[in-house]
Amino acid sequence: MLKLIDVIADGDARPVSLADLKKHVNAADFVDDDEQLKIYLDAAIDFVAGRTSLTLRRSTFRIDRCDWWSGCLNVLLTPVRDVTITFLDEAGAPQIIDPALYRWDRTKLGTAEIRFLDAFTSPAVKADTFNAVQIEIEAGFDVPDVTGAGDDPELVFPPRARQAVLMVAASWYRNREAAAENELKVVPLAADALIWQMRVYR
């Protein structure tokens, strides 16, 4: 089972900045709405991530297994950044597997395939334990303008995702209730169109 265990954050670093949103909604010259805009921005990032199946925030996930596996293990996260494998030995003490004993590759969808190399011999694990083998996966795009961002082209935050987040957050900022008195019309080629272009089908 894949579960989120941490969101990697550097202060207020977001893949789309508050400054970008303030400029988008013409609120750059005042701070009165900043806290509310942060709420809309965080919600919009999570909304677009959920609709596209992309990991927009850098996050750490874990897969727990009761034993080792053979062949290829598929990790359905996009994009994967790094993989660490730990196991509980027979005494229950955590042990880290040497990265030289396994290999992970990023697929065309940005997901990962993990396989052990021939030099790997399956060590005994703690019996009757659901998390005897733990695969920790770091996933998510680079935060723009942070040191190291852009070093891997596959981890550059998609411009379409940035635009979709801004459009969704701006819509919530301008329409703050669950219902509207006036009839609202969907703008063609707007946020929904961008989201469908990026959606990952697995």
Segment 144-156 shows an average pLDDT of 84
User: Between these two residues, 185 and 91, which has the higher pLDDT value?
Assistant: 91
Q: Residue 37 is encoded by which pair of tokens?
A: 């805009």
- Model pLDDT for residues 43-65, shown as the tens digit of each residue: 999 999 999 999 999 999 999 99
| DSSP state letter for 188 | T
Give 201's pLDDT tier (boundaries 50, 70, 90): confident
Residue 192 CB: number of other CB atoms within 10 A?
15
pLDDT the model gives residue 84? 97
Tell me the angle at which helices 34-52 and 159-174 cross, rounded to the nearest 10 degrees: 130
Amino acid (1-letter code) at residue 8: I
Instruction: Name the nearest CA neighbour of 14 among 118, 144, 139, 111.
Output: 144
| DSSP state letter for 155 | G
pLDDT the model gives residue 65? 96
* Whole-number Å distance between alpha carbons of 21 and 39: 11
Give the whole-number percent of the chain exceeding pLDDT 90.
Answer: 69
Judged against a pLDDT cut of 80, whether residue 1 lies above it is answered with no
Give 97's pLDDT tier (boundaries 50, 70, 90): very high
Amino acid (1-letter code) at residue 118: D
pLDDT the model gives residue 11? 52
Segment 154-164 shows an average pLDDT of 93
Give 81's pLDDT tier (boundaries 50, 70, 90): very high
Segment 92-117 shows an average pLDDT of 94
Cis peptide before 15 (omega within 30 of 0): no
Give the whole-number percent of the chain exceeding pLDDT 70.
Answer: 92
Number of H helices, E strands in the chain: 4, 8
Which of the residue ranges 109-113, 118-122, 167-171, 176-180 would you say has the lowest mean pLDDT? 176-180
- Model pLDDT for residues 22-37, shown as the tens digit of each residue: 999 999 999 999 999 9
Amino acid (1-letter code) at residue 88: L
Rounded to two decimals, the pTM is 0.85
Judged against a pLDDT cut of 60, whether residue 188 lies above it is answered with no
**pLDDT, averaged across the chain:** 90
